[in-house]
Structure 1
């Protein structure tokens, strides 16, 4: 771990010295010499870290030396961070709006600031002495010196290989599917069972989970069961969590219950009369009592139900009274080579593969038939081009490592040491997540950022660097089970394989821990000496265990704390004590807690950079939150009781992500938000109406300097804008990193014309991709900039109650999705909507014109006055359109809902190829389509899927006049 801390410390030292020179208050003179000395020693240590990190695996004395270096590195990082915070605090004083207070700050800072600098100087001198001892010990080990400092490259173009097709498991899969679908040969004691347990048993990394996934997702299996549920169990076997997860899987909603008996009753109600398939992945416990209550509840399912268990422990199969056991052996030599080569040779020319095939077969042989090892090494070898590089991997001394799980650790170590050192640090940090935890990519990047892992590359966006590191790890099989975004295919969530997680914990030892707290006495746990070394921890509290305050606070050097629990009420009373004692925290995650108030003591966490209080019952935040000058991420998503943010938020000049989506009670934002020009994420921007208390609230013009906002911005309260010039000052066109813009004209609604003028003034940059306009009060929505949006792919107009005329949207060349919802005064959708005619007459062209050229999804909903949908006019007839225009050639989905007056569809639908037409609550249109089966039917008879009032209708039957 020290191998990446030292470069970060060196960089921060240089930055602080440079900042200090620019400030009036500087470190005392004697400390400057210590900083120079400290820098020199660190550089000499940095040069040998690569060799030390590898040798510590087999040399205990080297491991002890690295541990001491790690401890002092953390302490140095804390002191340097204090120094940096002091500099920032001096700069931040100018933002205080109270002049008298400002003068007090300035007058006393000359005294207190000098005292603080002396205190920091003393700490630096003490650290320098400790580091000097470590530097002298370094020379005794005769380390090899690295010639250059390792910097991560940009990620190679190699993508994540899909290895879902498993080699050598076809027979096992067929056998498992047979067990699931067919009767199982049973002993006399098993005949009356309503379900049978099938156990997949094998060593770690052998492919048990993958085999279960293949069967679980098999189409025949899907059709065989009414309910299919997948649960990751791991250790411990937490009955409440497992039963909750079963309910959530079936109902798609997490139950707010903590009593086991009540939860079991709910499961019973859900499975009674149903044939279910339940997969319990990674079961360890042999405690029959933990399994018994769930087993008795599941007996109410229909006979033929199945439970599949994956385990490394043969005793689990006996405890669960398995009807059959499927032992999973190693892959054959040929299958192991096939899996390895499929990944290693992905994207390579045949000649290139032939040059290294013989070496590759020897490497594959070392995988010992383990699929995880084959995947890991195959992913590593994709990046090795020359035969010499392949030979180096084959002959590495790491193969001789004797450790637990040594069949898998050497391949993982080879891949690990091939990573740049900053990326290695990011990987090993993941050891603090519980096993089977779904890691959200963007949250992981923010956590890396909070720990200072992403700041080594000058001038690079930390978030972009984090994405590059994540992709690097994903391509090398350190992550798996990817959940992807449906729009752009990017990875949203992932998991770590159990063995990979064990490997990360092996690397970090006691530095990263997952602490399980059940009903054991807390005093027995709080004295654990290893906790003093813990820096990153997840504490999982299972009901009815008390909140383990002393256990957590004993790890006083914690930098990451993630608390997971089942509605534990003790967290609220423990919160102040946590803040007082865990002063080194960089990341604090209390998501889903029952806390209603945040204590003033939170302001003591000066190092804090990541704070997650999402989905809590939080009512307010203290003003002292303004002391958290280093805070980068504040997540308040789903805090429905939170009414406002304190004015102190405006002091958080390093804040990059303010997540306040779902804060339904919040109506204003503090004025200081406009100063947070580092913001990348702002879920909602609330425009104040001015007057009274709102004088200290945000107005639209406070968006002026927030030009780093990215991805999505939702502006609410635009009806409160009283002056068009205020809207112009927002400078939306300068926010070039935004992709999605939502404009909501809620508020006082002074004039209809004002809404139109404000919309005109809110011109976004020309490459915006998604716009939603809602509650607009004008009679038309045609700002001059709309037709200039060459990259606009999605447009939604909703609840614009006075709008009568739709804009000429057919001219938007990139538009793929269009939604028109509750436009209650629109009576006609005609040629103006298509863009066929303008104010000056018909749209003329010397060649055929395509209107809505890329539109795929078109939706109308709640158009109560809409009667006519036409593509013709007196100037532009059907023949003219057919000859000169192509309309919606890419249309795939057409949805029309709750449009009671609409009677007919436009003739140009006949020339499109939609895959689905949905008509709901449109009685006149339904009547014309079904009963008359004439002209309207001819327009849509070619559409394969027609759904009317939630019932699919066969086109052939309609064609016969039904």
Structure 2
């Protein structure tokens, strides 16, 4: 961590020196020599830091030396930040004068060390402030020189330390891998499916006990997602409990996962318990309580009492590290004591990761050393995965031998020796990524971490410095750091978006404990447990997290915490912030007060000039932001998502010249964005989704030359400015109602022609009836040139005329076809959705066959379409998922192929879905090869899942299922009355076509009659 701090300070020094030359200003007098000495001292110390950081674990004197170094580095970072802030203020003042046509005298070069220029109102204090900066630099330089001299006493080994991130291949899988738990999984599934009910007990509790990192949660997940378990339980609920055991929070989570709006329930615990009883009554449920520490029998008995209304056969899985908890919560006969993996299973897990990108010769060469390394995992799956992630990037035998011979293995003071391999992986990270990982300890255990939020937090702390990588943006560097930590298994439990990109993740408890061990003097999580609590905060505290603070004023004081860099709150009910409190936070970079009950932000927030990240999201009573907020010249991220009473943003926001990310989603009373917003030339992300009263975006949007991501779904204004078309850096354009064809001043399809940097997803919605000129307008959009665009959605939103005016509808479908042909995307496209087409037969654009990289294809909302031919789609070689949704007029789906040679149709299709096609009656399948050719057509050879939902008139299943889909594993038939009866009791007339499929789920159609749901 010290190396990263020094790298940041050196970068700051270089940046400030450069700015002083460019701006022709001299903010601090006679510090040129001091700056040079600073650089020399820091560079000399930096050369020994790798050895020092590894030795500090065993040598207290080295740790003390490093602590002193970090103190000086942090103080220097603050001083340099003050210096840089003065330069920013000068630039803003200069720009303001130029914009106001100031007198010629103000255009002369400014030398701020000339007293006469400054002895005006308000300027004396600034002179003193800048002299104070100079004095601090001199004082810190003396302290740093002493630290540099002391390093000679330790005989450190010198190393060349690089700070550049190596971009490794992304072929390594980060999917959670499991080896050696087959027997345990079958044992657990057997207990879950068991119909035994000793002494009428319901629900039955099944504890899983084992040490941290042994795989308790993974085993529970394997059983929870098993098909047999899914079919056996009507309701499945997963709750991360951790410590403390809070019955109210657990009950709220359960109700939320069952679809109950907990905000409508009155606050007493009994009201929630009563609601819980009502919701689970008569239902067979599976509840997982993951990571339980509580040994208070009364708390558990109180919760369990209200879970007894569930149907017989309901089960509760409890994972815990403590035998006492297992005995308290469940019957001894049901307890599963999880043991460590065998050496062979541990080796399989390790090798599957470490050798993912290696050839056979490399594997044979490194295997003997690898097996010795694996012995040090002590059979813990988590440790094996993390070590595998460490070794997968090392190809030389010496690198593997160095890990095996490391002195870290000799440490005996850490819990169960688990931290030893984690230290190896930690020390293998670059200094900057180490800082990013350590910051994650500010999240509570089990917290779901949003990837984009995490990167913005890293940025606010100065961890994303583009040293040696000037071509990448700060966000790009954050993405690389995150990916590196993913590949090394520091994160887990990934939640991905519809395109397979990671949105959210979690950290394993052991990793969290490890990070707390490394940051025990710098990071603190404070939990309020009720009553008056006096909490002493360490003087050198850098990062504070507060949980469960009661309703009222902010509960702590920071008058002696001079180096506090971040404050984060979770599950708090804070209503107000005092002015005195704000004034104590002058070094804070990150202030996260989200999801509280704050009514007003004090004006004093404007003095927090170091602040980079301010999150006030979900403070639903917050009506306005103070104008002083616009004095935060270093602010990079402002989040006010979900502030339902917020009506406007400060008019002077244009002064926030450093602002890069503005998030104002779900601010339903926000009426307009200030015009000054368009002066934020560094703005990178603007998100105003579902601000339903927002009439339009400012006309001068084209001035936001750095804007890359614009999200404004659900903003139903009459128009959006054409100036958006000038944003040539734009990568994301997520505007549901924006791109329309027609007359007027709003954004049109042709305005997209120069936005060739678009990537991710683009939604084009064509409203109303299209004119004959629409195809020409669409062609000018030049989608084919947008090679980074991976996901495209095209939607026709129009009302069909009456039957007597069918000719007009026919003309519309012809225009729509022409528009589709004109909107040809680049061949790099990976997913496509087309909706609302008005023709009677499904139309495929003439460029369909060119989509050689297309993986997902969806057709939806074709109300008048009666026939779906699939002839063209069979040749899309990369297609993996094909969906037809809401095509209510379709009567027939055709697989019409007549070929005189062997061909593979749909060669990589894995999932085929039909949904809400209420008029669909039959398949039109004609394959002459079956009768005439010795080389029959190969049809959907990799299909694994077929889903048919809401197709009430469909009578049969396709004939090709038993013959040409050998890998079909899953068949789902839901809300299909005739088809469900045809497969009734596994012996109906259609059963022979599907009897070979391992996993079949048939949900018969049900209707409500006299208040009772019955099968049809």
| TM-score of the aligned structures, taking structure 2 as reference length | 0.78
SS at match of 1:623: coil
Question: Partners of 1:858 and 1:265 in 2: how far apart?
Answer: 42
Which residue matches 1:155? 168
Question: Partners of 2:599 and 2:395 in 1: how far apart?
Answer: 58
Q: Verify the 8 A CA contact 2:692 2:714 in the aligned structure 1.
A: no
Which residue matches 1:713? 734
Shift of 1:682: 1.0
Shift of 1:908: 7.7
Question: Partners of 2:677 and 2:175 in 1: how far apart?
Answer: 44
Q: State yes or no: 1:397 paired with 2:407.
A: yes
Which residue matches 1:564? 570
Q: Verify the 8 A CA contact 1:766 1:790 in the aligned structure 2.
A: no
Q: Verify the 8 A CA contact 1:282 1:312 in the aligned structure 2.
A: yes
SS at match of 2:504: strand
Q: Verify the 8 A CA contact 1:194 1:301 in the aligned structure 2.
A: yes
Deviations 1:325-375 (A, max 9, x none): 433343444544444444434454454444444433333333333333333
Q: State yes or no: 1:297 paired with 2:309.
A: no
Shift of 1:396: 1.5
Question: Partners of 2:653 and 2:372 in 1: how far apart?
Answer: 58
SS at match of 1:298: coil
> Does 176-185 or 199-208 show the bigger shift?
176-185
In the TM superposition, what are the counterparts of 1:666-705 in structure 2 within 5 Å?
666-684=694-712, 699-704=721-726
In the TM superposition, what are the counterparts of 1:480-499 in structure 2 within 5 Å?
480-487=492-499, 489-499=500-510
Which residue matches 2:678? 650
Which residue matches 1:73? 73
Question: Partners of 2:293 and 2:607 in 1: how far apart?
Answer: 35
Which residue matches 1:875? none
Question: Partners of 2:825 and 2:411 in 1: how far apart?
Answer: 63
SS at match of 1:81: helix
Which residue matches 1:426? 436
Question: Partners of 1:438 and 1:283 in 2: how far apart?
Answer: 18
Question: Partners of 1:751 and 1:4 in 2: how far apart?
Answer: 58
Shift of 1:744: 3.6
Question: Partners of 1:920 and 1:629 in 2: how far apart?
Answer: 53
Alignment counterpart, residue 242 of structure 1, candidates 247, 250, 259: 250
Q: Verify the 8 A CA contact 1:827 1:868 in the aligned structure 2.
A: no
Shift of 1:242: 1.3
Shift of 1:220: 3.9
Q: Verify the 8 A CA contact 1:689 1:699 in the aligned structure 2.
A: no
SS at match of 2:374: helix
Question: Partners of 2:96 and 2:831 in 1: how far apart?
Answer: 42
Deviations 1:430-473 (A, max 9, x none): 11111111222233223223322222232223333223222222
Question: Partners of 1:827 and 1:333 in 2: how far apart?
Answer: 60
Q: State yes or no: 1:736 paired with 2:757.
A: yes
Which residue matches 1:214? 222
Deviations 1:896-940 (A, max 9, x none): 75787x999878899986975858689xxx5xx75xx9xx99999
Q: Verify the 8 A CA contact 2:34 2:137 in the aligned structure 1.
A: no
SS at match of 2:162: coil
Which structure has more helix as a fraction of its residues? 1
SS at match of 1:264: helix
Question: Partners of 2:211 and 2:825 in 1: how far apart?
Answer: 60
SS at match of 2:524: strand
Q: State yes or no: 1:505 paired with 2:516.
A: yes
Which residue matches 1:385? 395
Q: Verify the 8 A CA contact 1:158 1:475 in the aligned structure 2.
A: no
Question: Partners of 1:156 and 1:184 in 2: how far apart?
Answer: 51
Q: Verify the 8 A CA contact 2:350 2:387 in the aligned structure 1.
A: yes
Question: Partners of 2:317 and 2:958 in 1: how far apart?
Answer: 50
Deviations 1:362-407 (A, max 9, x none): 3333333333333322332333333322222222121222433151
In the TM superposition, what are the counterparts of 1:184-195 in structure 2 within 5 Å?
191-195=199-203
Question: Partners of 2:401 and 2:177 in 1: how far apart?
Answer: 28
In the TM superposition, what are the counterparts of 1:470-481 in structure 2 within 5 Å?
470-481=482-493
Question: Partners of 1:204 and 1:331 in 2: how far apart?
Answer: 13
Structure 1 residues 718 and 101: alpha-carbon distance in aligned structure 2, compared to 1, 3 A threshold: farther
Shift of 1:668: 1.1
Structure 1 residues 35 and 852: alpha-carbon distance in aligned structure 2, compared to 1, 3 A threshold: closer
In the TM superposition, what are the counterparts of 1:134-173 in structure 2 within 5 Å?
134-142=144-152, 143-157=156-170, 159-160=172-173, 162=175, 164-167=177-180, 169-173=181-185
Which residue matches 1:199? 207
Which residue matches 1:62? 62
Question: Partners of 1:7 and 1:157 in 2: how far apart?
Answer: 27
Structure 1 residues 207 and 553: alpha-carbon distance in aligned structure 2, compared to 1, 3 A threshold: farther
In the TM superposition, what are the counterparts of 1:863-942 in structure 2 within 5 Å?
893=912, 895=914, 926=953
Alignment counterpart, residue 320 of structure 2, candidates 276, 291, 311: 311
Question: Partners of 1:313 and 1:958 in 2: how far apart?
Answer: 52
Question: Partners of 2:705 and 2:732 in 1: how far apart?
Answer: 16
> Does 34-43 or 169-178 show the bigger shift?
169-178
SS at match of 1:144: coil
Shift of 1:641: 3.1
SS at match of 2:64: helix
Shift of 1:44: 2.5
Alignment counterpart, residue 811 of structure 1, candidates 847, 850, 868: 847
Q: State yes or no: 1:534 paired with 2:555.
A: no
Alignment counterpart, residue 466 of structure 1, candidates 456, 465, 478: 478
Question: Partners of 2:837 and 2:341 in 1: how far apart?
Answer: 63
| TM-score of the aligned structures, taking structure 1 as reference length | 0.81
Question: Partners of 1:941 and 1:371 in 2: how far apart?
Answer: 40
> Does 806-815 or 664-673 show the bigger shift?
806-815
Which residue matches 1:603? 630
Deviations 1:651-707 (A, max 9, x none): 3322222222232332211234322222222112899989xxx9xxx6112330x22
> Does 10-19 or 764-773 show the bigger shift?
764-773
Q: Verify the 8 A CA contact 2:464 2:477 in the aligned structure 1.
A: yes
> Does 436-445 or 729-738 show the bigger shift?
729-738
Q: State yes or no: 1:11 paired with 2:26.
A: no
> Does 727-736 or 646-655 show the bigger shift?
727-736
In the TM superposition, what are the counterparts of 1:438-477 in structure 2 within 5 Å?
438-455=448-465, 456=467, 457-477=469-489
Q: Verify the 8 A CA contact 2:765 2:797 in the aligned structure 1.
A: yes
SS at match of 1:233: strand
SS at match of 2:237: strand
Which residue matches 1:592? 618
Shift of 1:22: 1.8
> Does 409-418 or 671-680 show the bigger shift?
671-680
Q: Verify the 8 A CA contact 2:387 2:421 in the aligned structure 1.
A: yes
In the TM superposition, what are the counterparts of 1:397-416 in structure 2 within 5 Å?
397-405=407-415, 407-416=417-426
Question: Partners of 1:222 and 1:817 in 2: how far apart?
Answer: 26
RMSD of aligned alpha carbons: 4.6
In the alignment, structure 2 segments of 5+ residues that lack a partner are 577-596, 799-810, 929-936, 966-970, 993-1016
Which residue matches 1:845? none
Q: Verify the 8 A CA contact 1:89 1:629 in the aligned structure 2.
A: no
Q: State yes or no: 1:763 paired with 2:774.
A: no
Shift of 1:7: 0.8
In the TM superposition, what are the counterparts of 1:100-115 in structure 2 within 5 Å?
100=100, 111=118
Question: Partners of 1:437 and 1:851 in 2: how far apart?
Answer: 41
Question: Partners of 1:946 and 1:180 in 2: how far apart?
Answer: 23
Q: Verify the 8 A CA contact 1:611 1:635 in the aligned structure 2.
A: yes
Q: Verify the 8 A CA contact 2:692 2:715 in the aligned structure 1.
A: no
Structure 1 residues 231 and 860: alpha-carbon distance in aligned structure 2, compared to 1, 3 A threshold: closer
SS at match of 1:153: coil
Question: Partners of 2:234 and 2:902 in 1: how far apart?
Answer: 49
Q: Verify the 8 A CA contact 1:267 1:297 in the aligned structure 2.
A: yes
Deviations 1:791-840 (A, max 9, x none): 44544455688x9999761432216666565567x788899x9999xxxx
Which residue matches 2:882? 857
Deviations 1:198-241 (A, max 9, x none): 32233222332233333333444444433322211111112222
Deviations 1:457-510 (A, max 9, x none): 3222333322322222222221222334453x4433222111111111221224
